[in-house]
A and B are shown apart, each in its own frame.
Chain A
Amino acid sequence: QVQLQESGPGLVKPSETLSLTCTVSGDSITRVYWAWIRQLPGKGLESIGYIYYTGIIMYNPSLMGRVTMSLDTSKNQFSLKLNSVTAADTAVYFCARMPRQLSHWGPGILVTVSS
């Protein structure tokens, strides 16, 4: 059974970098694509980006070059970095499998941007 788990700091200061990791179990990270989605408070769900182990990466243009995704095949993990964060980046961040169909999601992690 495929399971995903997000981890990282729950509090980030404005202008700093948000860093999250998703650990995958029950599937190989080299088999399919992986994605990050966020849910903004009181607003909807937003795609952040997706990644494939061959180097294919797509980012949401709305994040204006602040986002970087990577993966670590030895740990079966993939990661998200979002720099120059503001309060508008406060959200629940989810990692998920198969971006076009989002078959499996992690439980999500609330990241608050505040000084």
Chain B
Amino acid sequence: DVVMTQSPLSLPVTLGQPASISCRSSQGLVFSDGNIYLNWFLQRPGQSPRRLIYMVSNRDSGVPDRFSGSGSGTDFTLRISRVEAEDVGVYYCMQGTHWPFSFGQGTKLEIK
């Protein structure tokens, strides 16, 4: 199985400051159709995960442009340019290329 490793696991951030989460996969994530199915989710307490970014760098509708995704090969990054209070929660990366699809351990973002 593909192992997704996130860092850091805990991310205290001051409001208005940038934040970055790394996600590394144990195998390359290029699917046979040429796409890389690497997604990012935010899970707020008591809610289901909400997708923010799909296929590495595509922002979902309604997601603020302060969120961006990048990466290639086995290394991927989620960046928040200026953290706001509503960004608090647990962030997960997830690969949808190799079955079984797998998730990172989660990164808990909190406000300092």
B-binding residues in A (CB < 8 A):
44-47, 58, 60-62, 94, 99-103, 105-108
Contact = CB atoms under 8 A, between A and B. Distances in A.
Contact of B41 (A99, A100, A102, A108): A102
A32 to B, nearest CB: 13
Given A61-B100, A101-B54, 9 more contacts: A44-B92, A44-B104, A45-B92, A46-B103, A94-B48, A99-B96, A101-B39, A105-B48, A106-B48
Contacts of B99: 47, 58, 60
Contacts of A102: 39, 41, 49, 51, 94, 96
Interface of B: 31, 37, 39, 41, 47-51, 54-55, 60, 92, 94, 96-97, 99-106
B103 A101 contact: no
Nearest to A94: B48
Nearest to A4: B48
Contacts of A108: 48
Counting from the closest, the 8 A-B pairs by CB-CB distance are A100-B96, A105-B48, A45-B103, A60-B100, A47-B101, A100-B37, A47-B100, A101-B54
Nearest to B95: A100
A99 B105 contact: no
A14 to B, nearest CB: 25
Contacts of A107: 47-48
B106 A44 contact: yes
22 contacts: A44-B104, A44-B105, A44-B106, A46-B100, A47-B99, A47-B100, A47-B101, A47-B102, A60-B99, A60-B100, A62-B100, A100-B31, A100-B97, A101-B37, A101-B39, A101-B51, A101-B54, A101-B96, A102-B39, A102-B49, A103-B51, A105-B48
Contacts of B102: 47
A45 B96 contact: no
Contacts of B31: 100
A85 to B, nearest CB: 19
